[in-house]
A and B are shown apart, each in its own frame.
Chain A
Amino acid sequence: MRKFFRRIHFLLNRKRLERELAEEMEAHSAMMPAERRSHFGNTARLQEDSREVWSWSWLEQLWQDLGYGARVLGRSPGFTFGAVAVLALGVGVNLAEFQIFDAFLHRLNFRDADSVLQFARNSRQGSRLGFPHGAVEFYQAQNRSFTWLIAEDTTVEVVVEGDAAVRTNLVSPNYFANLGILPAFGRLLDAHDAQPGAAPVAALGYDYWRAHWGADPNVIGRIVHINTQPVQIVGVLPYSFAQGLYGRRTEVWLPVSARPLLMPGAPALQQDFSRPGEALFGKLRPGVSQAAAEEELTALTRELARRQPRYFGDDERLEGHLLQQSMARAYRGSPAVAAFIVMVLLVLLSACANLGNMLLARGLVRRREIDIRMAIGASRARVLRQLMTENFLLALLGAAAGLGFGAIAARLLLTALGAPSNFRLTIGWPILTTALLLTLISAIAFGLPSALQTVRVNRSRVHLRQSLIAVQAAVSCLLLIASGILAQNAISSASVELAFDYRNMLVIYPQLYGRNLSAAVVQQKLDALSARFGALPGVEGITAAVVPPLGGRLMVDNLAGLPHVYRNAVAPSYFQVMQLSILRGRTFLPEEQEAVVVSESAARAVWPNQDPLGKRWKLAGAERTVVGVVKNSGANLLADADSIEVYVPMAGPDMTGSALILHTPSDPASLVRVIPGSAAAVNETVSVTLMRASRENALQAQTRMITLIGSIGSVATTLAAAGMFALVAFTVAQRRRELGIRMALGAGPRHILNVLLRQNARPTAVGAIAGMVLAVVLSRLVSSQIVLRKQGSVDVAGVAAGLVCFGLVALVATLSPALRALRIDPSTTLRDE
């Protein structure tokens, strides 16, 4: 150990100690008798030998290599700049995408995000996430295990100033304070707003504020009418908190105490157990284990079950799971995200391949220098180490530039994705470590093969260069094709014809679940609600279905030999209200439980060339008879171009989850305001959505994806194009004399072009084909996640678009320098030496 410190001491005081050593040897030499003085030896060599005793030799050599590498890079600034630019692109894009993924797609930044628990009620009937308000208050008052407990209610939809179906989140008084959320403007809701008698206030979500209020800061203080009640806007949420903890994007935030105001006729908030609409979240007190907290909550729940047996099962257990985990599962586990990350890394690979080629080209130029070094006696390993040190230097510079470029790229991408201009992306440790890691990987990836090539005595440079070109071509082709497929998908998706008038339809979700209602009671309630809503002015039709079209639910059966069967359980009036004309047969009779109505595509698929009426089919647990054939609705074609639809009557436990569908040829938005009140009059609470809203959301998500992938694709293509251009240009420069001679001997333009391009044409083609195959494979893998319509087949148009795009770029990139070669004047080149 002390030896180590002695070394350090020497290194720190090197100059002084070396001077002293020289002085000492001087003295020694002076003391020697004259005739022996020549035996002393070379002082400089002695100095070096002595120095070597003290320092770590590898450190010395590394220092040497670094110095040399820096000088070499400095001597060829053009190359260094180009290489750093290429790396900055590759590394920078990666960093930008990582940052964006983390920050933007989640849009959920709050304090202690990794220790917040969400609670579920587990019982015989399954796991539910909704708590009634009375229970939340009880837990908040009685618990000892939590630093805080908050709740949010995302089931209430309101009309704001005539704008229908605005999504709200009704939150506990201490919600924002506990999560550490600071407003973008104004203030956020706090405990004062929950006091009895406090004036009703609301805060706006950032997107909503921008889209509907023109990002006007003067909206703060204004009174707006929410469900016809005057409410004052007091603030705007920050961009980084767009969804509640439950994960639903929120447009207007209100205190939970505002619920009775917004839903007249709904039961008073205090001690209200009838509506399990709130999701419960909590943070454990330090020192309390999760198990202990769950026990306490379960015990409190048992107490509640004793007091309110109607609303709580006696076997309910409360279980908590980490919020961060479930979100991470939702996003990071998805193959779409994994595929995305893979694609982004491929850009880095392409950059490295590009750089590898550049280094190979430079190896040609430096051949003399390296040959001399090896001839003097440097071992191959030594030269290799020196070359790799240069490459690491380059990678370091590239990564540093990449950080800067990544910030710009991230900003550009965010603008393209529609984020506001003051959205801050922090460069935290994860980003920096990623940058470092990428640096190391890229230095090895591009440096090692070319360095190995350069030091090898027998150099066949051609194969490596060709494979590098192939890699670049493959990556850019892959990304371009992926963009093509997605774009094609979006276009065809936007043009699907829906048979029903979705623009004028509402979906109403009565809160029938979780209340232990029998099927008969549920049917009664649905009938009562249908009757009430049907009597509203402007309503043309009302029906019920378990899977409302364009909603978030699906019931899909995978039957052998058939495409995906999208099943729906509907009321007999469904087909008429949805304008799905009955082509053959009839709809269900009331009480008919074992019938099935099929769509025309289903009829064609299951009984080709036959009349399906009267046929028997085992479906959804019963042997059913086909009683009718209807037109395709088109709703499921958006997600699955080969799907077929079938309809069974509503029955049994399914019904508690059913929704009412309302058709009104006049503006449906006006009805959204009225419906909750109408339902409250019969003691029911409902939430209402506009059918067209969900369609727009889906399309927006697609556009975003295309933007992201398209941007990566263009970066990769730029890299590939630049690489090809540089390579051909370099070849032209290298072989000027040879080309001049050829032309002097009578070679025509075609011959010259042939000579120049032949070497690179084959790897480019091979790479393009590899890219195409990979793209098809990848698209198959993620088809379920990115809503690709043609699941089983290859999207030819998309692939073709991508290939054509790549081909054009490659052509232009290689031909332009090659064509310049044709202008070589043989007489001039032959004269120049």
Chain B
Amino acid sequence: MPEIPMPKGALALLVLRVLQSGPLHGYAIAQRIRQLSSDVLEAEEGSLYPALQRLLLEGWAAAHWGKSETGRRVRFYRLTPEGLKQLKRERHEYELATVAIQTILRLA
């Protein structure tokens, strides 16, 4: 499937969702997003890390150091309770927006 640019603002939402299933390190997060979207969406590293830092700043994610599958020292991110609340909020907003857009496209 063709690759399309990540819609603005979607990255944070997707990262939060991905983290909901469990703590992951940065590379794993990018991989997961690519795999789950069947290569349609790509989490550019250039935007992934600033987004992760933003999550840390806002307190929606917390980080700790650990070992990856290959034994390298990597940083794992996990969702915090505030992050879960934020995920629900953003998801709700996103769904509302999507419905609205689709309605306009259909009826306008």
A53 touches B26 (CB 8 A): no
- Chain A residues numbered 1-19 whose CB sits less than 8 Å from any CB in chain B: 2-3, 6-7, 10
* B68-76, B85-93, B97-105 - interface stretch: B68-76
Alpha-carbon distance A516/B45, docked complex (angstroms): 101
- Which A residues are in CB contact (< 8 Å) with B58? 3
- Which A residues are in CB contact (< 8 Å) with B81? none
A28 touches B59 (CB 8 A): no
**Known contacts A20-B75, A39-B45; is-contact A28 B26 (Cβ 8 Å):** yes
A53 touches B75 (CB 8 A): no
B49 touches A46 (CB 8 A): yes
A23 interfacial by beta-carbon distance below 8 Å: yes
Alpha-carbon distance A2/B58, docked complex (angstroms): 8
A25 touches B49 (CB 8 A): yes
**Known contacts A2-B59, A28-B26, A46-B45; is-contact A53 B53 (Cβ 8 Å):** yes
B50 touches A24 (CB 8 A): no
- Which A residues are in CB contact (< 8 Å) with B44? 39, 41
The smallest beta-carbon distance between B94 and chain A, in angstroms, is: 22
- Which B residues are in CB contact (< 8 Å) with A3? 57-59
A6 touches B56 (CB 8 A): yes
In the complex, what residue of chain B is closest to A42 when comparing beta carbons? B46
- Which A residues are in CB contact (< 8 Å) with B49? 21, 24-25, 46, 49-50
In the complex, what residue of chain A is closest to B72 when comparing beta carbons? A27
**Known contacts A39-B45, A49-B50; is-contact A24 B57 (Cβ 8 Å):** no
A79 interfacial by beta-carbon distance below 8 Å: no
B53 touches A27 (CB 8 A): no
A32 touches B53 (CB 8 A): no
Alpha-carbon distance A54/B70, docked complex (angstroms): 31
Alpha-carbon distance A3/B86, docked complex (angstroms): 15
Alpha-carbon distance A21/B58, docked complex (angstroms): 17
A23 touches B57 (CB 8 A): no
A53 touches B45 (CB 8 A): no
A30 interfacial by beta-carbon distance below 8 Å: yes
A32 touches B59 (CB 8 A): no
B46 touches A41 (CB 8 A): yes
- Which A residues are in CB contact (< 8 Å) with B65? 20
- Which A residues are in CB contact (< 8 Å) with B68? 27, 31
A138 interfacial by beta-carbon distance below 8 Å: no
Alpha-carbon distance A49/B49, docked complex (angstroms): 9
B45 touches A28 (CB 8 A): yes
The smallest beta-carbon distance between B44 and chain A, in angstroms, is: 7
A54 touches B57 (CB 8 A): yes
A40 interfacial by beta-carbon distance below 8 Å: yes
Alpha-carbon distance A24/B66, docked complex (angstroms): 11
In the complex, what residue of chain B is closest to A6 when comparing beta carbons? B57
- Which B residues are in CB contact (< 8 Å) with A39? 44-45
**Known contacts A2-B59, A20-B75, A24-B75; is-contact A31 B50 (Cβ 8 Å):** no
- Chain A residues numbered 565-615 whose CB sits less than 8 Å from any CB in chain B: none
Alpha-carbon distance A54/B49, docked complex (angstroms): 12
- Chain B residues numbered 23-73 whose CB sits less than 8 Å from any CB in chain A: 25-27, 30, 44-46, 49-50, 53-54, 56-59, 65, 68, 70, 72-73
The smallest beta-carbon distance between B87 and chain A, in angstroms, is: 18
Residue in B26, B27, B45 whose CB lies within 8 Å of A41? B45
A31 touches B54 (CB 8 A): no
**Known contacts A6-B59, A27-B74, A31-B70; is-contact A50 B53 (Cβ 8 Å):** yes
- Which B residues are in CB contact (< 8 Å) with A23? 73
**Known contacts A7-B57, A28-B26, A31-B68; is-contact A46 B75 (Cβ 8 Å):** no
Alpha-carbon distance A6/B53, docked complex (angstroms): 11
- Which B residues are in CB contact (< 8 Å) with A30? 72
Alpha-carbon distance A550/B19, docked complex (angstroms): 95
Chain A interface SS verdict (over half): helix
**Known contacts A6-B56, A7-B57, A53-B53; is-contact A31 B46 (Cβ 8 Å):** no
The smallest beta-carbon distance between B67 and chain A, in angstroms, is: 11
- Which A residues are in CB contact (< 8 Å) with B59? 2-3, 6
In the complex, what residue of chain B is closest to A7 when comparing beta carbons? B57
- Which A residues are in CB contact (< 8 Å) with B73? 23, 27
Residue in A6, A24, A54 whose CB lies within 8 Å of B26? A24
Alpha-carbon distance A305/B45, docked complex (angstroms): 96
Alpha-carbon distance A41/B45, docked complex (angstroms): 7
A53 touches B74 (CB 8 A): no
In the complex, what residue of chain A is closest to B45 when comparing beta carbons? A40
Alpha-carbon distance A49/B46, docked complex (angstroms): 9
- Which B residues are in CB contact (< 8 Å) with A7? 57
- Which A residues are in CB contact (< 8 Å) with B75? 20, 24
The smallest beta-carbon distance between B7 and chain A, in angstroms, is: 19
Alpha-carbon distance A41/B43, docked complex (angstroms): 13
- Which A residues are in CB contact (< 8 Å) with B70? 31
- Which B residues are in CB contact (< 8 Å) with A45? 46
Complex interface bits, A23-60 against B, C-beta within 8 A gives 1, otherwise 0: 11101101110000001110001100110111000000
- Which B residues are in CB contact (< 8 Å) with A41? 44-46
Alpha-carbon distance A3/B72, docked complex (angstroms): 30
Alpha-carbon distance A28/B54, docked complex (angstroms): 18
Question: Which of B26, B53, B57, B58 has the most CB atoms of chain A within a 10 A radius of its CB?
Answer: B53
Complex interface bits, A142-185 against B, C-beta within 8 A gives 1, otherwise 0: 00000000000000000000000000000000000000000000
Question: Which of A25, A28, A52, A54 has the most CB atoms of chain B within a 10 A radius of its CB?
Answer: A28
- Which A residues are in CB contact (< 8 Å) with B27? 27-28, 31-32
Alpha-carbon distance A20/B26, docked complex (angstroms): 13
**Known contacts A3-B59, A27-B27, A28-B26; is-contact A53 B72 (Cβ 8 Å):** no
In the complex, what residue of chain A is closest to B28 when comparing beta carbons? A31
Alpha-carbon distance A28/B48, docked complex (angstroms): 11
The smallest beta-carbon distance between B54 and chain A, in angstroms, is: 5
In the complex, what residue of chain B is closest to A48 when comparing beta carbons? B50
- Which B residues are in CB contact (< 8 Å) with A2? 59
A54 touches B45 (CB 8 A): no
Alpha-carbon distance A49/B51, docked complex (angstroms): 10
B46 touches A53 (CB 8 A): no
In the complex, what residue of chain B is closest to A10 when comparing beta carbons? B57
B53 touches A54 (CB 8 A): yes
B50 touches A46 (CB 8 A): yes
Alpha-carbon distance A39/B45, docked complex (angstroms): 8
- Which B residues are in CB contact (< 8 Å) with A40? 45-46
Alpha-carbon distance A10/B63, docked complex (angstroms): 13
Alpha-carbon distance A10/B59, docked complex (angstroms): 13
- Which B residues are in CB contact (< 8 Å) with A46? 45-46, 49-50
- Which A residues are in CB contact (< 8 Å) with B30? 28
A24 touches B74 (CB 8 A): yes
- Which B residues are in CB contact (< 8 Å) with A52? 50
In the complex, what residue of chain B is closest to A24 when comparing beta carbons? B75
Alpha-carbon distance A28/B76, docked complex (angstroms): 12
The smallest beta-carbon distance between A145 and chain B, in angstroms, is: 60
Alpha-carbon distance A52/B49, docked complex (angstroms): 12
The smallest beta-carbon distance between B81 and chain A, in angstroms, is: 13
- Which A residues are in CB contact (< 8 Å) with B50? 46, 49-50, 52-53
- Which B residues are in CB contact (< 8 Å) with A32? 27
- Which A residues are in CB contact (< 8 Å) with B45? 25, 28, 39-41, 46
In the complex, what residue of chain A is closest to B82 when comparing beta carbons? A2
Alpha-carbon distance A24/B54, docked complex (angstroms): 16
The smallest beta-carbon distance between B32 and chain A, in angstroms, is: 13
- Which A residues are in CB contact (< 8 Å) with B26? 24-25, 27-28
Alpha-carbon distance A640/B17, docked complex (angstroms): 92
Alpha-carbon distance A10/B70, docked complex (angstroms): 29
Alpha-carbon distance A787/B54, docked complex (angstroms): 72
Residue in A31, A49, A50 whose CB lies within 8 Å of B72? A31
Inter-chain pairs besides A31-B70, A50-B50, 7 sampled, C-beta below 8 Å: A20-B65, A27-B26, A27-B73, A30-B72, A41-B45, A49-B46, A49-B50
Q: Can you offer 5 A-B residue contacts whose CB atoms are under 8 A?
A: A25-B26, A27-B74, A31-B27, A40-B45, A54-B53
Closest A-B pairs by Cβ, 6 of them: A41-B46, A53-B53, A49-B50, A50-B53, A31-B27, A28-B27
Contacts from B to A (Cβ < 8 Å): 25-27, 30, 44-46, 49-50, 53-54, 56-59, 65, 68, 70, 72-75
